[in-house]
Structure 1
């Protein structure tokens, strides 16, 4: 089961500081409930997801935990926990990542490493786990928060779709091709989960994640969300293959902005 990673102007160069600075440091929790069943082994599912993003002046750090309990045909219950953490510089040049997935308290997989954008725009990824190796990704590959802001920027421009390549550190061997559909930009949202978000623009989005390669037609994972202009998201929907989950906001807080010497207003 692929971890649901929230952190998502398609460009062939690194994202700008202006894009990164528009993200709000915040912490948000979602309650997850079963939304849909396909013809598979899962008959029920519940869960919880927490996400936190902190502003470190020249970079962002994120922490996410996805907890899922699924009931299989025959009555077997499985508990899956995925912990995901990143550091992503605001100039789009560096990222550190770690993903740990557990099934019934036993570690099933661990992915850890760092990625750096070269002068020609290509991204060199140095894995530490599950095995030490280096891969080179094409220019235009976006890190997670740059991917999120690419979605927001495209929605602001009333684009119907974009297709950026994403490296998020959850795969042990490659990036993902993503196809993002956008359902229009709303300048005010009275039903936002917090008063601070009601006057912000937002767009409903759908993101399909594909393994890279020729003629890959079926996505590995799909998610939908309403993204606000500051990178906060609600109205989650996540498709894990034989079942889908819907996420509603249980708690949301904006986090303090640090005192950074480079900020002009300080």
Structure 2
């Protein structure tokens, strides 16, 4: 019962890189806030043909404003129980550094199953107007071309929030997040309308902020480098994002089953810049 991918889209983590001089941050980048968040994971539903009877776990996510980029880390643990009572525990430790101009990312992912390493992915990528290139160091040394229009995870979050504020309901782009050894994936993001600030007694830092719900579907690209958007998605994630980049609700759909993630703890981190 391995997880095929860790949580994507807006969840990126710790690394090191530097923005090139003269490259401006994406408009809206200043609104993204450093924070540390803890989520409880629980089974939302299992498909009729699924063997999954129970799913529970935790996810810890931290993003730090490193002035020229975002350094974040996501640690993910999920215990699955099948209908015969057998348990499988999967963990992942996912880290990246993405520069604020949205042009470079360094990434590292280690995933384990039952305590044994099942996957390692690491390397760096540079995005250009023509697409760009990924240089992998793990699981093997190789390079992959990125399709034209590729964007990186934090930039995807920023643009999705900007789209929500203007009433745009769909965003279709190739996304590279460093969780696949095969380069970029196609994504289709469906965006609900913008919600104005609402009372939030549990998490007061979010009470003064607007938010938007969105659902991101990921499609593997075929061997010819073409998008797979006409087929069923490989993976989907639904989130409610506040305008500072904090997500308090999420749903991860792995196909055979889906898991809800609920924010339990939130600490806002100071901006050192």
Asked if the contact 1:189–1:202 (Cα under 8 Å) also holds between the matched residues in 2, the reply is no
What's the TM-score once normalised by structure 1's chain length? 0.90
SS of aligned partner of 2:157: helix
Q: List runs of 5+ in structure 2 lacking aligned partners.
A: 12-22
In structure 2, what is the equivalent of residue 26 of structure 1? 35
In structure 2, what is the equivalent of residue 11 of structure 1? none
In structure 1, what is the equivalent of residue 161 of structure 2? 152
Asked if the contact 2:186–2:227 (Cα under 8 Å) also holds between the matched residues in 1, the reply is no
In structure 2, what is the equivalent of residue 169 of structure 1? 178
Q: Deviations over 1:210-260 (max 9, x none)?
A: 1123554111111111111111111211111111111111100110111x3
Matched, 1:238 2:264: no
Root-mean-square deviation (Å): 1.7
1:5 counterpart (8, 19, 23): 8
What's the TM-score once normalised by structure 2's chain length? 0.88
User: Structure 1 residues 21, 126: CA separation in 2 closer, same or farther (over 3 Å shift)?
Assistant: same
Deviates more, 1:58-67 or 1:134-143: 134-143
User: Structure 1 residues 36, 121: CA separation in 2 closer, same or farther (over 3 Å shift)?
Assistant: same
Q: List runs of 5+ in structure 1 lacking aligned partners.
A: 9-13, 261-266
Q: Alpha-carbon deviation of 1:122?
A: 2.0
Alignment of 1:1-266 (within 5 A): 1=3, 2-7=5-10, 16-38=25-47, 39-118=49-128, 120-191=129-200, 193-212=202-221, 213-214=226-227, 216-258=230-272, 260=273
User: Structure 1 residues 90, 48: CA separation in 2 closer, same or farther (over 3 Å shift)?
Assistant: same
Q: Distance in 2 between matches of 1:79 and 1:92?
A: 34
